[in-house]
């Protein structure tokens, strides 16, 4: 697959009415959210946001700073419990799951890539990538062998024995992508995965992330405020004032 | 150009177990469902945690080493403390085995007995235990432990330490005194400690002529019973143990929390990749346990190191055999189990206040202000345990009461440590303004004062305990220390010997007077006399003697007599004096009230001889006090006693007429000659090793009290060293955790001095509050403890100031030592480290 080298074309004027995220989502969504509300103290982060994503789909969640896009991602991933509304994964309501069950989902079904800080600084890069497999009980050798294969694919096999503090930001993000994908997740959550990188490194990380996700048929929820990054997605959802709008029709 | 893939337009790639996801279509297989048993999962999590304890390259190892050294120092001290019962038991057992005292019926000389005389001496403030031995017959005399046979006349068996001392340069004066040929070395079983100075010398019959001797048919304590420890001393021992060991345990709790912030971030990262709450707790427990186990291993190593060097250490005249320094098995097992368990418990307790969420760490305790009420529960509980025993502990022998006191004290002291975070928070909450360093310090403390408070809680407990102990000590000291009444300005040493005859007594006083460094001697020959008329069998009140019929005779020159009786300048050879009766409260050298000796008047005839049972001898030697004798008042001698009776100048009486005379010499030595006491001892030993030489002191302590005090000094030194070392570790760890922040501050131009003052402020403020709390808590606890043993309340404010000053000095020293690493960490390059 050839990555886009230029941002996608901006939506044309005189657009059609913007559909809601759920309307845009076809039936049989892998992961969906309905009317999510979340307030931090007196500040509302989500105010009735809805969202859906299908297997293998890459959806960019965009919006200005403080619009609630990261909160939406955290709710979708079961990291944060919404105050109201439902999140369903394969028909199961996340809020009904116990902490252990949600943790099991994160271990096996979900993968995460954040802007920074998600790698365990004490472990080597290989060990970091192998960690989700080790948590499921896989033997060290096998887990690290799989980890190395993913790192090779993401072009960071050479930093395997190094620790996160000893590698560059771009390499660190690729290691994080490898870790997110090593369990062959059904959904990858990526929150500003290129936010701390220069454009060249950002492009390469996105290229590798989307390529790898597509090859494993993983859905990707991609939170970003950069149009260049959003260009890698199949569909865009814009969050503003805590409400999500699907931009598929516009695009 | 936008790459689009219609949703649902692709199918999920098949799983391929073990495949490498190098190319499309060969995606890695999903991990298998976790089918491990509960036990296996637990073990895996604990192991992973253990791995984290050491992971992270240099940083990880530094953290692990800090924790291990911290826990190890504490564990080593605990192991040493656990060895004390064994050390004391072994020491006492060996001391009892070799004891040459006979508390039973008097042993008559026989073919299987040995004649012994205590020939203890001192050499430059170190006590030398000595025994003169001479078999009474040709049988099989007893041999003390550590020897194969008794040394023959002119021979000597010595302890290894004494042998080394005698061989070392500078000990010529001791060699002069102990001039026997060394033919044997006393084995360990005959010594209380490896550095003990001891000898057995083979004596001639004539060596026993001067001094006290007796016969033994066996070595070892016979008929001696240990007195139970007085309650106030028992209480002291309990409090000492608590005060010394509690800071150690508090510090160990702090050490296992080293790297806490980093650990919390790591656990958050683990939550993100799917570890549930229980898993992260198990992982944290594994990490704490690994650190604690490594600490135990380090502690074991340090203890072995201490053990191997213990034999060469002499602290407060005590030395310990390495073989004796072994922890009591039950206590050792308790330490081995309790340290990791406590480490895990502390970690899990801390995690209760920190919710590890996938997106980071939420400190659930932060928004709430610390509450006072539950922090008062522990001290209140402690007081509830202590107060019912007020006034009654002195009369109890109940073990439960002992535990009650120990528990009560522990609760009050831990309560002090628990109150500190609340106090620090309450005080800093009200602070604002001030210069930048102060503002930085205060704001930091307002944000999180717990770490700073924890760092000083050990010293708070130690100082609070020490204040209470000091109060108990000063009150108990009065009970256990007697003013001797010695006037050390008139004499610094006394020599006393039972002489065979007056010639021997005179020889001794003459020799002493001529010894190097002696500037003056009050020397006299002392003997007893009895009433000619009534001192007969059956005439006394109890069918034996009436004490009133005895008197003493002192023969000395005028200079010496002036020190004993008030004669002014009116004295010449040939004069005789008798003392007037003194008041009841005047101390007398003879038993019985002073009036009892007032029967001697000018013209009274006394009998200078008596038989073995103290009766008037069949061939009495009578002597009449001349009518010219002057009646005078007695005066206190340098030992604070008053000699009563008859005082003669040398030409009045042929001293050979005196029966069983003693030689007494009170000696003034030249303070500029440090070896003068050694010359005096040598002069005395030249007459007989059995001559009793002792140094005058203003006060004398109960020996058990002295031992406890010695134990406290040893323990307090060890604890203070540990607290200092632990605080350095703790400060380093705090600085390491804040390295990035420090670098950020430096990066935008903060002066180093600003940061240094701010660090000092952050340390000094909690320390000041901790010391105030310690002083108040310690005074309160001390008052309660004094009430337990019915002693009056007294506070030695100077000692209190000294203790709090020592605590502050330790902290300031630690802060000063932490400055160099602080400078190093304040480099802008530190920004890159994370």
Q: What is the pLDDT of residue B635?
A: 83
Which one of A10, A215, A220 would you mutate to disrupt binding with B, by most B Cβ within 10 Å of its Cβ?
A215
Distance to chain A for B33, nearest Cα, Å: 7
Task: Find the residue in B nearest to A163 (Cα).
Answer: B56
DSSP B519-538: EEEEEEEEEEEEETTT-STT
Query: Does B14 or B713 have the greater pLDDT score?
Result: B713
B572 to chain A, any CB pair closer than 8 A? The answer is no
Which one of B6, B31, B43 would you mutate to disrupt binding with A, by most A Cβ within 10 Å of its Cβ?
B31
Q: pLDDT band at residue B393, thresholds of 50, 70 and 90?
A: low
Q: What is the pLDDT of residue B707?
A: 66
Closest CA to B789 of B216, B428, B307, B395: B395
Distance in angstroms (rounded) separating the CA atoms of residues B550 and B535 = 8
| Lateral strand order in the sheet of A110-113 | A110-113, A187-191, A219-223, A58-62, A235-240, A243-246
Contact at CB, A55 and B12, closer than 8 angstroms: yes
B154-168, B363-377, B481-495, B525-539: which has the minimum mean pLDDT?
B525-539
Closest CA to A33 of A218, A235, A246, A230: A246
Among residues 184-243 of chain A, which lie with CB inside 8 Å of chain B? 184, 210, 212, 214-217, 231-232, 234-235
Q: What is the pLDDT of residue A188?
A: 93
User: A234 to chain B: which residues are within 8 Å by CB?
Assistant: 4-7
User: B269 to chain A: which residues are within 8 Å by CB?
Assistant: 117-120
User: B277 to chain A: which residues are within 8 Å by CB?
Assistant: 99-100, 103
* B104, B332 contact by CB (below 8 A): no
Query: Does B388 or B707 have the greater pLDDT score?
Result: B388
> Cα angle vertex B486, ends B483, B492, to 5°?
135
B137 to chain A, any CB pair closer than 8 A? The answer is no
CA dihedral B135, B140, B143, B147 (to 10 degrees): 100
Query: Does A143 or B822 have the greater pLDDT score?
Result: A143
Token readout for B480 is 């256990």
Distance to chain A for B47, nearest Cα, Å: 12
Strands (E) across B562-681 are located at 576-579, 605-607, 622-624, 630-632, 646-648, 662-669
pLDDT digits (tens, 9 = 90+) for A56-83: 999 999 988 888 888 898 899 888 888 9
pLDDT digits (tens, 9 = 90+) for B604-661: 888 887 766 666 666 778 888 888 888 888 887 877 777 788 898 888 888 778 888 8
* A218, A112 contact by CB (below 8 A): no
Q: What is the pLDDT of residue B832?
A: 44
- The arithmetic mean of pLDDT across residues B568-572, rounded, is 82
Q: pLDDT band at residue B183, thresholds of 50, 70 and 90?
A: very high
Q: What is the pLDDT of residue A88?
A: 93
Q: Three-state DSSP class for B223?
A: coil
Which one of A137, A148, A221 would you mutate to disrupt binding with B, by most B Cβ within 10 Å of its Cβ?
A137
User: B18 to chain A: which residues are within 8 Å by CB?
Assistant: 142, 145-146
Q: Three-state DSSP class for B791?
A: coil
Token readout for B105 is 């019926």
Instruction: Give me the helix-helix angle, B57-97 and B277-310, nearest 10°.
Output: 50
pLDDT digits (tens, 9 = 90+) for B670-698: 888 888 888 988 888 887 888 888 887 76
Among the partner-chain residues B5, B48, B358, the one whose CB lies closest to the CB of A79 is B358
Distance to chain A for B2, nearest Cα, Å: 6
Q: Domain coordinates of chain A in residue numbers?
A: 21-246
Q: How many CB atoms lie within 10 A of CB A73?
A: 23
Q: Is the pLDDT of residue A112 over 90?
A: no
* B273, A112 contact by CB (below 8 A): yes
Distance to chain A for B703, nearest Cα, Å: 57
CA dihedral B814, B818, B819, B821 (to 10 degrees): 170
pLDDT digits (tens, 9 = 90+) for B67-123: 788 788 888 888 888 888 788 888 888 888 888 876 767 888 888 889 998 888 888
Q: What is the pLDDT of residue A189?
A: 92
Instruction: Say which CATH class A21-246 falls into.
Output: alpha beta
Length of chain A in terms of residues written: 251
Hunting for tokens 């002295």 — which residue is that?
B706
- The arithmetic mean of pLDDT across residues B121-149, rounded, is 88
Instruction: Give me the helix-helix angle, B436-447 and B752-788, nearest 10°.
Output: 60
Q: What is the pLDDT of residue A223?
A: 92
Q: Three-state DSSP class for B700?
A: strand
Give B760's contacts (C-beta < 8 A, 6+ positions apart).
Answer: B437, B441, B815
A144 to chain B, any CB pair closer than 8 A? The answer is no
Q: pLDDT band at residue A220, thresholds of 50, 70 and 90?
A: very high
Token readout for B338 is 């309790």
Question: Judging by DSSP bridges, how do beta strands A219-223 and A58-62 pair with one another?
Answer: parallel
Among residues 671-700 of chain B, which lie with CB inside 8 Å of chain A? none
Which one of A121, A138, A236 would you mutate to disrupt binding with B, by most B Cβ within 10 Å of its Cβ?
A121
Q: What is the pLDDT of residue B593?
A: 41
A108 to chain B, any CB pair closer than 8 A? The answer is yes
Distance in angstroms (rounded) separating the CA atoms of residues B633 and B455 = 66
Distance in angstroms (rounded) separating the CA atoms of residues B606 and B590 = 17
Contact at CB, B266 and A216, closer than 8 angstroms: no
Contact at CB, B274 and A104, closer than 8 angstroms: yes
Q: Is the pLDDT of residue B545 over 90?
A: no
First to last CA, chain A: 21
Residue B141 dihedral angles phi and psi, to the nearest 5°: -70, 155
Q: What is the pLDDT of residue B398?
A: 64
Distance in angstroms (rounded) separating the CA atoms of residues A246 and A234 = 11
Question: Across the strands, what pairs with A222?
Answer: A60, A190
Token readout for B319 is 């030395």
Q: Is the backbone of residue A58 left (phi > 0), alpha (psi -120 to 50) or beta?
A: beta
A71-80, A123-132, A139-148, B315-324: which has the minimum mean pLDDT?
B315-324
Q: Is the pLDDT of residue B583 over 60?
A: no
A65 to chain B, any CB pair closer than 8 A? The answer is no
A40-44, A69-73, A76-80, A229-233: which has the minimum mean pLDDT?
A40-44
Q: Is the pLDDT of residue A16 over 50?
A: no
Give the side-chain half-sphere CA count within 13 A for B281. Answer: 14
Q: pLDDT band at residue B164, thresholds of 50, 70 and 90?
A: very high
Indicate the average pLDDT of chain B.
76
Q: What is the pLDDT of residue B827?
A: 62
Q: Domain coordinates of chain B in residue numbers?
A: 42-67+229-368, 100-216, 376-482+701-834, 493-697
Q: b/e per residue, B404-429, with b = 16+ CB within 10 A?
A: bbbbbbbbbbbbbbbbbbbbbbebbe
Q: What is the pLDDT of residue B41?
A: 83
Q: How many CB atoms lie within 10 A of CB A171?
A: 21
Q: What is the pLDDT of residue B368?
A: 60
Contact at CB, B31 and A58, closer than 8 angstroms: no
Contact at CB, B269 and A120, closer than 8 angstroms: yes
Q: Is the pLDDT of residue A118 over 60?
A: yes
Q: Is the backbone of residue B426 left (phi > 0), alpha (psi -120 to 50) or beta?
A: alpha
**Is this prediction's pTM over 0.80?**
no
Query: Does B506 or B596 have the greater pLDDT score?
Result: B506
Contact at CB, B359 and A79, closer than 8 angstroms: yes
Task: Find the radius of gyration of the CA atoms of chain A.
Answer: 18
% chain A with pLDDT above 90: 23
Among the partner-chain residues A79, A138, A210, the one whose CB lies closest to the CB of B31 is A138
Q: Is the pLDDT of residue B564 over 80?
A: yes
Contact at CB, B12 and A56, closer than 8 angstroms: yes
User: A137 to chain B: which residues are within 8 Å by CB?
Assistant: 32, 34-36, 40-41, 44
The 3-state secondary structure of chain A reads: CCCCCCCCCCCCCCCCCCCEHHHHCCCCCCEEEEEEEEEECCEEEEEEEEEEECCCCEEEEECCCCCCHHHHHHHHCCCCCCCEEEEEECCEEHHHCCHHHHHHHHHHCEEEECCCCCCCCCCCHHHHHHHHHHHCCCCHHHHHHHHHHHHHHCCCHHHCCCCHHHCCHHHHHHHHHHHHHCCCCCEEEEECCCCCCCHHHHHHHHHHHHHHHHHCCCEEEEECCCHHHHCCCCEEEEEECCEEEECCCCC
pLDDT digits (tens, 9 = 90+) for B492-515: 888 888 776 667 777 788 888 888
Task: Find the residue in A nearest to B265 (Cα).
Answer: A120
Distances (CA, A) of B677 to A222, B164, B639, B666: 92, 22, 17, 12
Contact at CB, A121 and B266, closer than 8 angstroms: yes
Among residues 16-35 of chain A, which lie with CB inside 8 Å of chain B? 26, 28
Distance to chain B for A55, nearest Cα, Å: 6
Token readout for B164 is 């080394």
Q: Is the pLDDT of residue B6 over 70?
A: no
A211-215, B81-85, B359-363: which has the minimum mean pLDDT?
B359-363
Distances (CA, A) of B415 to B373, B457, B806, B807: 11, 10, 22, 19
A35-44, B14-23, B171-180, B456-465: which has the minimum mean pLDDT?
B14-23
Task: Find the residue in B nearest to A231 (Cα).
Answer: B2
Closest CA to A55 of A243, A168, A193, A184: A184
Closest CA to B222 of B124, B86, B104: B104
DSSP B197-221: EEEEEE--GGGGSSS--EEESS-S-
Give B682's contacts (C-beta < 8 A, 6+ positions apart).
Answer: B173, B176, B177, B515
How many pairs of residues across A and B have Cβ atoms under 8 Å apart? 183
Question: Across the strands, what pairs with B632?
Answer: B579
pLDDT digits (tens, 9 = 90+) for B218-249: 888 755 555 555 666 666 677 777 777 777 77
Token readout for B482 is 């007697």
Task: Find the residue in B nearest to A70 (Cα).
Answer: B359
B362 to chain A, any CB pair closer than 8 A? The answer is no
The 3-state secondary structure of A49-76 reads: EEEEECCCCEEEEECCCCCCHHHHHHHH
Q: How many CB atoms lie within 10 A of CB B363?
A: 12
Query: Does B378 or B10 have the greater pLDDT score?
Result: B378
Say if the ipTM goes beyond 0.90. no
Q: pLDDT band at residue A54, thresholds of 50, 70 and 90?
A: very high
- The arithmetic mean of pLDDT across residues B22-51, rounded, is 69
Q: Is the pLDDT of residue B419 over 50?
A: yes
Contact at CB, B3 and A136, closer than 8 angstroms: no
Give the side-chain half-sphere CA count within 13 A for B652. Answer: 25
Q: What is the pLDDT of residue A194?
A: 86
Distance in angstroms (rounded) separating the CA atoms of residues B480 and B695 = 19
Distance to chain B for A56, nearest Cα, Å: 7
User: A26 to chain B: which residues are within 8 Å by CB?
Assistant: 7-8
Distance in angstroms (rounded) separating the CA atoms of residues B66 and B391 = 46
Q: Is the pLDDT of residue B546 over 50?
A: no
User: A118 to chain B: which residues are within 8 Å by CB?
Assistant: 269, 272
Q: Is the pLDDT of residue A151 over 70?
A: yes
Distance to chain A for B13, nearest Cα, Å: 6
Q: What is the pLDDT of residue B536?
A: 44
């Amino acid at each position: 697959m050839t990555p886009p080298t230029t941002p996608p074309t901006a939506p044309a004027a005189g657009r059609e009415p913007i559909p809601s995220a759920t309307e845009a989502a076809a039936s049989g969504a892998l992961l969906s959210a309905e009317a999510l509300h979340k307030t931090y103290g007196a500040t509302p982060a989500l105010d009735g946001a809805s969202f859906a994503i299908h297997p293998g789909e890459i959806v960019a969640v965009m919006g200005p700073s403080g619009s609630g896009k990261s909160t939406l991602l955290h709710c979708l991933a079961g990291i944060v419990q919404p105050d109201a509304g439902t999140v369903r994964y394969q028909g199961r309501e996340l809020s009904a799951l116990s902490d252990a069950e949600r943790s099991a989902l994160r271990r096996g079904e979900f993968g995460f890539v954040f802007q920074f800080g998600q790698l365990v600084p004490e472990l080597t890069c290989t060990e970091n990538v192998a960690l989700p497999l080790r948590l499921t009980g896989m033997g060290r050798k096998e887990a690290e062998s799989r980890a190395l294969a993913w790192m090779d694919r993401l072009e960071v096999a050479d930093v395997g024995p190094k620790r996160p503090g000893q590698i560059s930001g771009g390499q660190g993000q690729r290691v994080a992508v490898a870790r997110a994908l090593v369990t062959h997740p059904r959904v990858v959550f990526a929150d500003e995965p290129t936010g701390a990188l220069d454009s060249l490194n950002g492009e390469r990380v996105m290229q590798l992330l989307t390529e790898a996700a597509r090859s494993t048929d993983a859905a990707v929820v991609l939170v970003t405020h950069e149009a260049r990054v959003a260009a890698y997605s199949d569909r865009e959802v814009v969050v503003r004032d805590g409400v999500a709008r699907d931009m598929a029709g516009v695009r | 150009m936008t790459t689009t893939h219609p949703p649902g337009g692709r199918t999920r790639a098949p799983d391929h177990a073990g495949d490498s996801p190098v190319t499309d279509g060969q995606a890695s297989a999903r991990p298998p469902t976790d089918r491990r048993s509960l036990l296996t999962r637990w073990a895996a999590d604990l192991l992973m945690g253990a791995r984290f304890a050491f992971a992270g390259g240099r940083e990880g190892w530094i953290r692990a080493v800090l924790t291990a050294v911290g826990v190890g120092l504490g564990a080593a001290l605990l192991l040493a403390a656990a060895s004390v019962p064994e050390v004391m038991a072994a020491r006492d057992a060996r001391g009892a085995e070799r004891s040459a005292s006979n508390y039973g019926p008097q042993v008559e000389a026989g073919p299987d007995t040995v004649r012994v005389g205590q020939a203890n001496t001192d050499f430059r403030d170190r006590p030398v235990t000595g025994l003169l031995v001479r078999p009474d017959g040709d049988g099989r005399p007893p041999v003390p432990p550590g020897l194969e046979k008794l040394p023959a006349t002119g021979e000597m068996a010595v302890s290894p330490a004494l042998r080394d001392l005698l061989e070392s340069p500078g000990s010529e004066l001791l060699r002069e005194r102990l001039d026997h040929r060394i033919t044997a070395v006393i084995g360990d079983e005959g010594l209380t400690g490896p550095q003990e100075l001891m000898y057995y010398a083979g004596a001639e019959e004539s060596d026993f002529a001067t001094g006290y001797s007796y016969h033994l048919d066996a070595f070892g304590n016979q008929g001696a019973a240990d007195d139970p420890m007085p309650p106030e001393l028992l209480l002291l021992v309990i409090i000492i143990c608590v005060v010394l060991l509690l800071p150690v345990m508090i510090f160990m709790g702090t050490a296992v929390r080293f790297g806490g912030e980093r650990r919390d971030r790591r656990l958050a990262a683990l939550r993100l990749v799917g570890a549930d709450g229980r898993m992260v707790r198990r992982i944290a427990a594994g990490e704490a346990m690994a650190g604690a186990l490594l600490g135990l291993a380090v502690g074991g190593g340090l203890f072995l190191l201490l053990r191997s060097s213990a034999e060469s250490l002499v602290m407060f005249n005590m030395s310990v055999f390495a073989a004796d320094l072994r922890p009591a098995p039950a206590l050792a097992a308790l330490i081995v189990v309790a340290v990791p368990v406590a480490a895990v418990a502390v970690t899990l307790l801390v995690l209760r206040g920190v919710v590890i969420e996938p997106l980071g760490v939420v400190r659930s305790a932060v928004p709430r202000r610390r509450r006072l009420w539950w922090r008062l529960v522990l001290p209140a509980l402690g007081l509830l345990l202590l107060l019912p025993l007020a006034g009654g502990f002195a009369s109890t022998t109940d073990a439960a009461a002992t535990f009650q006191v120990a528990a009560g004290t522990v609760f009050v002291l831990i309560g002090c440590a628990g109150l500190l975070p609340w106090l620090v928070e309450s005080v800093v909450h009200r602070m604002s303004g001030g210069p930048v360093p102060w503002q930085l310090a205060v704001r930091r403390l307002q944000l999180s004062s717990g770490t700073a408070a924890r760092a000083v809680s050990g010293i708070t407990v130690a100082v609070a305990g020490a204040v209470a102990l000091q109060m108990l000590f000063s009150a108990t000291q009065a009970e256990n220390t007697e003013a001797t009444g010695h006037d050390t300005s008139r004499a610094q040493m006394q020599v006393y010997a039972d002489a065979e005859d007056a010639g021997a007594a005179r020889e001794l006083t003459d020799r002493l007077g001529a010894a190097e460094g002696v500037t003056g001697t009050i020397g006299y020959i002392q003997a007893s006399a009895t009433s000619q008329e009534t001192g007969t069998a059956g005439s006394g009140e109890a069918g034996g003697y009436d004490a009133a019929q005895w008197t003493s005779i002192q023969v000395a020159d005028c200079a010496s007599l002036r020190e004993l009786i008030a004669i002014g300048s009116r004295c010449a050879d040939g004069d005789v004096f008798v003392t007037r009766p003194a008041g009841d409260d005047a101390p007398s050298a003879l038993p019985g009230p002073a009036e009892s000796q007032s029967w001697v008047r000018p013209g009274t005839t006394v009998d200078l001889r008596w038989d073995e049972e103290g009766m008037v001898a069949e061939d009495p030697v009578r002597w009449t006090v001349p009518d010219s004798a002057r009646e005078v008042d007695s005066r206190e001698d340098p030992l604070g006693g008053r000699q009563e009776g008859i005082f003669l100048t040398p030409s009045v009486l042929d001293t050979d007429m005196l029966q069983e005379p003693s030689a007494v010499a009170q000696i003034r030595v030249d303070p500029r000659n440090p070896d003068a006491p050694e010359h005096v001892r040598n002069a005395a030993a030249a007459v007989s090793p059995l001559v009793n030489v002792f140094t005058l002191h203003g006060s004398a302590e109960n020996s058990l009290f002295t031992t406890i005090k010695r134990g406290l000094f040893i323990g307090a030194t060890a604890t203070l060293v540990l607290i200092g070392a632990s605080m350095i570790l703790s400060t380093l760890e705090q600085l390491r955790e804040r390295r990035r922040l420090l670098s950020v501050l430096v990066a935008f131009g903060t002066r180093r001095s600003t940061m240094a003052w701010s660090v000092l402020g952050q340390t000094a403020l909690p320390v000041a509050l901790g010391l105030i709390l310690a002083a108040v808590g310690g005074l309160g606890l001390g008052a309660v403890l004094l009430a337990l043993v019915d002693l009056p309340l007294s506070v030695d404010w100077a000692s209190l100031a000294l203790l709090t000053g020592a605590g502050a000095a330790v902290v300031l020293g630690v802060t000063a030592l932490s400055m160099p690493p602080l400078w190093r960490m304040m480099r802008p390059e530190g920004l890159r480290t994370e």
